[in-house]
Amino acid sequence: MKRLLVPAVMLTALLAGCTTYDDANHGMWTMTRHGQEVDYEFMDEVLFDYDSANLSPRVYDAIASIAEEVRHRPHWLVAVDGYTDTVGSQDYNMPLSRDRAQAVADALVHNGVDKHRISAQGFGKTHLAVPTGDNVREKRNRRVVIRLFPPDR
CATH number at residue 84: 3.30.1330.60
* Mean pLDDT of the region 106-125: 97
Q: What is the pLDDT of residue 142?
A: 85
- Has residue 44 been placed in a domain? yes
If one counts the domains in the chain, the total is: 1
* Mean pLDDT of the region 99-105: 96
What does pTM read for this prediction? 0.79
The answer on pLDDT for 116 being more than 60 is: yes
- Has residue 8 been placed in a domain? no
The answer on pLDDT for 19 being more than 80 is: no
Cβ-proximal residues to 9 (8 Å cutoff; 6+ apart), any chain? none
- Has residue 137 been placed in a domain? yes
Residue 18 Cα distances to 31, 32, 105, 124, angstroms: 10, 8, 27, 30
- Has residue 124 been placed in a domain? yes
pLDDT (tens digit per residue) in 44-83: 556 777 688 888 887 888 899 999 999 999 999 999 999 9
Domain around 57? 20-149
Q: Which of 119, 26, 111, 23 is nearest to 72 (CA)?
A: 111
- Choice between 23 and 136, residue whose per-residue pLDDT is larger: 136
* Mean pLDDT of the region 13-36: 58
